Amino acid sequence: MADEGQAPDDLTFTHQELDEKATEAIEAVLASKIYDEKEVSRWINEICERIIKSLYDTRKPFKYMVTCLIMQKTEAGLLTSGACMFEGGTDMMQQFLWPKEKAKDQANKTMHAVVTIFCARF
């Protein structure tokens, strides 16, 4: 049997891996942009699609659900949380905030983005 295109044997995703995918997608779309009501709906779709594509390219036997939220920076408070019922060893759910706390200098000053990635093995 040919080994070309065979999926790797990993059973799950690491937090690190998902963090990289989420950050890469958000940076590609939002870096140095200003919150613009007309553009935001396009940005959120693009971020979600980039992440799904990079997850799909890993060729692992998983179903993926990605949620992206962009909120304008004002004085309003925002809280998010996630809860799941899934298979402990193989499935993953992670939420990522952008800009990260430590990257305050370069990070975007007009908006926050929160990405939730849920992977379920089939």
Residue ranges in contact with another protein by CB under 8 A? 35, 37, 40-41, 44-45, 47-49, 51-52, 55-56, 63-87, 91, 93, 95, 114, 116, 118, 120, 122
Q: Decide whether 20 or 36 has the Cβ nearer to another protein.
A: 36
Q: Decide whether 23 or 116 has the Cβ nearer to another protein.
A: 116
Separation of alpha carbons 34 and 69, rounded Å: 15
Q: Decide whether 14 or 80 has the Cβ nearer to another protein.
A: 80
User: In a 3-state reduction of DSSP, which class is residue 121?
Assistant: strand
Separation of alpha carbons 27 and 7, rounded Å: 28
**Least CB distance to another protein at residue 117 (A):** 10
**Least CB distance to another protein at residue 30 (A):** 12
**Least CB distance to another protein at residue 111 (A):** 9
**Least CB distance to another protein at residue 41 (A):** 6
Q: Decide whether 23 or 94 has the Cβ nearer to another protein.
A: 94
Cβ–Cβ < 8 Å for 68, 23: no
- For residue 90, give both structure tokens: 């193989």
| Torsion sign (Cα): 105, 68, 20, 118 | positive
Separation of alpha carbons 60 and 76, rounded Å: 39
